[in-house]
Amino acid sequence: MAKKETINVKGTEITVITTKENDYISLTDMAGYKDNLEARIVVSNWMSTYYTVDFLAVWEQINNPNFNRMGFHTVRNGEGRLLLTPKRWVEMTDAIGIFSKSGRYGGGIFAHKDIAFEFGTWLSAEFKYLLIREFQRLKEDEVRQKSLEWNLQRTHSKINYRIHTDAIKEHIIPCIVTKEQITYTYAEEADLLNVAIMQMRSLVEHRGVKKLE
């Protein structure tokens, strides 16, 4: 499931969508730094330059095995290049680095972070630098949060393990005769507990996703 967050660059709120593999930044929000009323025109003006079209093509050739090079050359040679839109670019080239997302809230034009940073250069050198810095801060915060969650889960598992083993020792072990039976019982009960915890965690995460939807 995609995760949506925001960063603030010079008073401009910019949406960042994080998927399992990539990060996408709202070009619409970024364009608002230059002209909040005509964001789409700002993006189209940037896309309509030879330099930008060449940059987008290089990115797609490296990251998109289905990139339509013939469509790119059609755009590059003039057809549809004037006021090139993301929709037109995708239709002509099967591009994946930039896309339009509909919706009154959270919609707009999004691009892979590599492309978004390049757009930032076109807007302002200072804006690009601050954008990269805030984006890196966001990613560092995510890493710290994941590390904290992992440590909490590890501590919680240790506590539960001690409670579990004490319960086995008190209620089950007295009925067992051999050491082999004792060892087997500890392992078997631990496996059952792990399965139960995993099932409960999956159920909680599933309910959390449904709630967000």
Query: H-helix or E-strand containing 89?
Result: helix 86-93
Residue 194: how many CB atoms within 10 A of its CB?
A: 13
40-70, pLDDT tens digit by residue?
Answer: 899 999 999 999 999 999 999 999 999 999 9
Backbone angles phi, psi at 66, to 5 degrees: -100, 15
168-193, pLDDT tens digit by residue?
Answer: 566 555 555 556 655 555 566 566 65
Q: Do 117 and 173 fall within a single domain? A: no
Q: Do 113 and 152 fall within a single domain? A: no
Can you read off the two tokens belonging to residue 109? 């034009």
Q: Do 181 and 81 fall within a single domain? A: no
Q: Do 28 and 128 fall within a single domain? A: yes
Please tell me the predicted confidence (pLDDT) of residue 69: 95
Residue 66: how many CB atoms within 10 A of its CB?
A: 9
Q: Which of 141, 163, 184 is the last residue of a domain?
A: 141
Q: Do 118 and 190 fall within a single domain? A: no
Q: Do 28 and 122 fall within a single domain? A: yes
Please tell me the predicted confidence (pLDDT) of residue 99: 93
Q: Do 174 and 95 fall within a single domain? A: no
What is the chain's percent helix, strand, coil content, to nearest 5?
65, 15, 20
User: Over 60: is that where the pLDDT of 102 sits?
Assistant: yes
Q: For the whole model, what pTM was predicted?
A: 0.67
The strand ranges marked E within the chain are 3-9, 12-18, 23-26, 98-101, 108-112
Torsion of CA 35, 48, 101, 91, to 10 degrees: 160
d(CA 41, CA 39): 5
